[in-house]
Structure 1
Amino acid sequence: MSQIQNRVTPITKLTAVSSDPSMSGRVYSLTAADHAMELHSGAVVIYYNENPFGSFILDPMRESLSRVLSLYPTVTGRLTRSENGNWAVKANDAGVRVTMTKVGTTLDEWLRSADSAEERNLAPFEEMPENPYIWSPFRIQINEFEGGGVAIGVSFTHLTADPTSATFLLKAWADAHRGEPVSPPIFTRPSIGDGEQIPNTATKSTSFYANKSKTWTQNQPASTTKMASATFKFSNSTINQWLSKTEHHCPNATPFDLLAALFWKQVLQIKGLSQNELNHSLSICTDFRTSFQSSQRFYFGNALLFSELSVSSKDMEQWDLGEIMGLIHSHLEKLGEEDEIRTAMEWLESRKEKGGKYAAPFKMYGPELTCVSMEHMGVKLSYATKFVRDSKAVHVSYNVGNCEGDGLIVVMASNEEGVARNVMVMLPEREMAELCKDGAILRFNPTVILGGL
């Protein structure tokens, strides 16, 4: 991985506030699903070949951000504790921290040479202090590259939002800047599990959550394993070719089915897991906004479901790619059929101490190998954040903090139309180096950026 450091230099720091503080004073309670994500942070970085900003301090870009922030009081507000001890956001128009930086290289060179640690400098997350009442849970950073490229980074505590929510915020800002209508977000999640009923612990997700909560302890030491990541870009033609090859195993397979199966199998081989282990498991993270009515899909908060898929060591070794794809596809189809979302949310809501305070959070991404599907985003959302008409992003990164363990795989849209996909993989450094040279992966002719060897 690249050893180049300190190429991102802060130039200006300021606070962007809402242009209409009419929501000031309102308190937004966070859900059990929000509280469950407290141990993690998130970041979205969008790269452009051209800088749409000019001078942000005096530019209409700042004005359009202020207009959009009027619709996002949980972004400009501050975290507080409600009477029962649970987290809430108080809308007080304290604003969002905005940092302007200069990057000492071109955008193309950055994508070739930066590693995962350096990319975090484009959207740095500041850990929540013990007293967060003056702390900004969202931060925006505008990074200008030599030669005119720019990257816009947003970092946030996962307690208040997920990557889809952050993308809504960025797209709303871009739409407002172009003078387009902006769809306001929804802060009240449609009712899914109220915690009043005894949760059904027999469903896949609920039993998975229950087991994770039992094995996780807040006091366990932080991992000392050095992690590394790389992003693999797969073309539309390649994905279509491989979906056609495996059609007899899984005729309705998605690009996620294909790439999740490919990386799961190859990561396990690199880890050298033996048949002494009866089963190999993969945690799959999906977004459940697609289960809402269309008018409710702009929900701003956490709408993620984690479930576990297991396969025997013998089958994993003997099955070909198409058979593993079929297993993943079937698993995801059954999540909707078996009411996994409702029962999982009921279980999270039921974890309350005396007085109504939610139980302590546990690690959601990891420590087991976790694969995140961003299929619900697609090119139309991920790459539709256009500050200048017809100036589409050249790359979008989604990153999660505190997910060390067996590793993280994120399958997301590419800037190429069709079924092209990018896959960001985070693994222990030695395993990441082997994955970048893995023959089965290289058969797909990926372009490797942001961490490739």
Structure 2
Amino acid sequence: MADSSYTSRVKVQSTLTAVSSKPVGAGQAYKLSVRDHAMGGHSVHLIFYYRDIPFGTFDLDPLRVSLSETLSLYPPATGRLARDGNGNWEVKWSDAGIRVLQAKVGASLDEWLRSADGIEERDLTVWEDMPQDPHIWSPFRIQISEFEGGGVAMGLSCTHLHADLTTAARLFQSWSQVHRRVPVRHPPRFPDSPPAPLRSPTHPDSLLPDSPSVSPPSFTSSAQMSSSTFKFSDQTMAGLVSEVSELCPDATPFDVVAALFWTRIIELKQPRNSRGRWIAKIAVDTRGVLREKLPLGFFGNAMQFSPVEALSEDGNGCELWQTVKLVHDCVLGIQEGENRSASEQFESRKEDGGARFVSSAKAYGPQLTIVSMEHMAGDASVGGGRWSEMYEAMFVDGERPIHVSVGVGNAKGEGLIMVVPEEGLGRSVTVVLPEEEAARLHEDQEVLKLEPTVILSGQHNNNSRF
């Protein structure tokens, strides 16, 4: 495991600035919404791993050209943060650009995926916390890291104030499409006004994203967190979905793996044969699904968080199929607009006479937070070979990334589960837990019997297919 005394294997060699290929109109500003402010305490991190350097002999210059052309489509990414007259954040459009770093990794790609953990992996996605005065601070950063013997990791990080994981992934995907001279699949869309929150009082204000957890206490701020990624094949996921199909016929791969890890984590947290009430938060992207539909290329934050409760009444834990149905119904409620939105709750808590939005540092937490990227899945069928959008970031035709890591900074609390579609029904699940619980999860027989490939856990993995 990485700790405060470890020596990083990632060495930054150079830093430069990439600017838009077209001048940005001076004086324009992009207003950040109440939902953006709710994400203010977090950062977004994406890392795309490529087996072969997707540019032939590595040369940054062609990438800089296509990146500059891409940035001309994304003025908020090259701008700088400032406060408006009400004290809320806005992005002043400018030609200041974004930071691009080049680095070398003192390990091969295979060795890195076997031996690095989620904390060390952050060295591949540079980040600096926002200063008090951010007028010259770059909120978007890219890092390109070469491995010994071949292979490259391309990391993108940004403040969650600006964008969510989907926006960041589609910006990166747009870059790869511009580089290959193919049409941008989801060009960015910038609304004239922030999306209106839904109006449905399904959940009380006691379940605001930054409210205390009502599940049994298991996390303290001093706990060291550990991260691992479990990769499940198309065949394994097809079997899992089939197992619960009779009791929950509409269950998705996300419903199943989210319920699997939630039930196993409950087992880790509660004393054996005890009863408990467990609350998690489900985070779902709302592009294209709400009554007032956001376009698929919407730039900003469109994740909605909704609490879901599981009960262990007889001390025998939570049944998997019951938990699958709980997760499925929660996701369906968000998509159909039945669950009260986090943005509405934050809207009701404005400061300074109702003009200033309240920022939160705990949108992901303190409860266990489960993030779905299911909206990025392809038209999956068993054995169909359909890849999710996350793997469409090809800088050379046919050269897909071999793995895509997703992460959220400052996700403090009981833990974080992030589910990412891969090929067909295949899913990767990144789990962040307190160290002791994470170690026990690695030994959990209900998880191990599914024979996942485990990477980026800091533990040797004999089954690695990388």
Unaligned runs of 5+ in 2: 214-219, 378-386, 460-466
User: What is the deviation of 1:323?
Assistant: 2.1
Q: 1:328 is paired with a residue of what secondary structure?
A: helix
Partner in structure 2 of residue 374 of structure 1: 373
In structure 2, the CA distance between the partners of 1:211 and 1:60, relative to structure 1 (3 Å rule), is closer
Partner in structure 1 of residue 415 of structure 2: 407
Distance in 1 of aligned mates of 2:455 and 2:164: 24
Distance in 2 of aligned mates of 1:154 and 1:18: 17
Distance in 2 of aligned mates of 1:107 and 1:295: 38
Distance in 2 of aligned mates of 1:352 and 1:315: 42
Q: Which amino acid aligns with 2:449?
A: R
Q: Which amino acid aligns with 2:432?
A: M
Please give the residue correspondences for 1:304-315 in structure 2 after superposition, counting only pairs within 5 Å: 304-314=303-313
Q: 2:375 is paired with a residue of what secondary structure?
A: coil
Please tell me whether the aligned partners of residues 267 and 317 of structure 2 are also in contact (alpha carbons under 8 angstroms).
no
Structure 2 residue aligned with 1:421, among 405, 421, 427? 427
More displaced stretch, 116-125 vs 20-29: 20-29
Partner in structure 2 of residue 87 of structure 1: 89
Partner in structure 2 of residue 184 of structure 1: 187
Q: 2:316 is paired with a residue of what secondary structure?
A: helix
Please tell me whether the aligned partners of residues 311 and 318 of structure 2 are also in contact (alpha carbons under 8 angstroms).
no
Please tell me whether the aligned partners of residues 98 and 140 of structure 2 are also in contact (alpha carbons under 8 angstroms).
yes
Deviations 1:268-289 (A, max 9, x none): 1112356766411111111101
Deviations 1:73-114 (A, max 9, x none): 111100000111100000111010000001111111110010
Higher helix share: 1
Segments of 4+ in structure 1 off by > 6 A?
A: none
Q: 1:43 is paired with a residue of what secondary structure?
A: strand
User: What is the deviation of 1:320?
Assistant: 2.7
User: What is the deviation of 1:336?
Assistant: 3.4
Distance in 2 of aligned mates of 1:322 and 1:294: 31
Distance in 2 of aligned mates of 1:386 and 1:438: 36
Q: 2:313 is paired with a residue of what secondary structure?
A: helix
Distance in 1 of aligned mates of 2:271 and 2:319: 17
Partner in structure 1 of residue 447 of structure 2: 441
User: What is the deviation of 1:334?
Assistant: 2.4
Distance in 2 of aligned mates of 1:335 and 1:265: 21
Partner in structure 1 of residue 380 of structure 2: none
Q: Which amino acid aligns with 1:340?
A: N
Deviations 1:329-373 (A, max 9, x none): 1222223345336x5433333332226111242411011111111
Distance in 2 of aligned mates of 1:380 and 1:338: 25
Deviations 1:46-83 (A, max 9, x none): 000111244544x2111000000011111110000011
Please tell me whether the aligned partners of residues 377 and 413 of structure 1 are also in contact (alpha carbons under 8 angstroms).
yes
Please tell me whether the aligned partners of residues 248 and 324 of structure 2 are also in contact (alpha carbons under 8 angstroms).
yes
Deviations 1:244-294 (A, max 9, x none): 122111111111111111101111111235676641111111110132688
Please give the residue correspondences for 1:329-344 in structure 2 after superposition, counting only pairs within 5 Å: 329-340=328-339, 343-344=341-342
Structure 2 residue aligned with 1:431, among 420, 437, 449? 437
Distance in 2 of aligned mates of 1:63 and 1:113: 34
**Is 1:240 paired with 2:238?**
yes
User: What is the deviation of 1:25?
Assistant: 2.8
Q: Which amino acid aligns with 2:409?
A: G
Pairwise CA RMSD: 2.4
In structure 2, the CA distance between the partners of 1:315 and 1:375, relative to structure 1 (3 Å rule), is farther
Q: Which amino acid aligns with 1:281?
A: I
Please tell me whether the aligned partners of residues 193 and 349 of structure 1 are also in contact (alpha carbons under 8 angstroms).
no
Partner in structure 2 of residue 391 of structure 1: 399
In structure 2, the CA distance between the partners of 1:167 and 1:289, relative to structure 1 (3 Å rule), is same
Partner in structure 2 of residue 345 of structure 1: 343
Question: Structure 1 length normalisation: TM-score?
Answer: 0.91
Distance in 2 of aligned mates of 1:260 and 1:315: 22
Q: 1:372 is paired with a residue of what secondary structure?
A: strand
Please tell me whether the aligned partners of residues 108 and 148 of structure 2 are also in contact (alpha carbons under 8 angstroms).
yes
Unaligned runs of 5+ in 1: 216-221
Deviations 1:22-52 (A, max 9, x none): 3343100000000000011110000001112
Q: Which amino acid aligns with 1:372?
A: V
Q: 1:22 is paired with a residue of what secondary structure?
A: coil
Partner in structure 2 of residue 219 of structure 1: none
Question: Structure 2 length normalisation: TM-score?
Answer: 0.89
User: What is the deviation of 1:404?
Assistant: 2.1
Please give the residue correspondences for 1:207-222 in structure 2 after superposition, counting only pairs within 5 Å: 207=205, 209-210=207-208, 212-213=210-211
Partner in structure 1 of residue 72 of structure 2: 70
Residues matched between the structures, number? 440
Please tell me whether the aligned partners of residues 376 and 389 of structure 2 are also in contact (alpha carbons under 8 angstroms).
yes
In structure 2, the CA distance between the partners of 1:65 and 1:208, relative to structure 1 (3 Å rule), is farther
Structure 1 residue aligned with 2:130, among 122, 128, 131? 128
More displaced stretch, 47-56 vs 144-153: 47-56
Q: Which amino acid aligns with 1:435?
A: L
In structure 2, the CA distance between the partners of 1:266 and 1:318, relative to structure 1 (3 Å rule), is closer
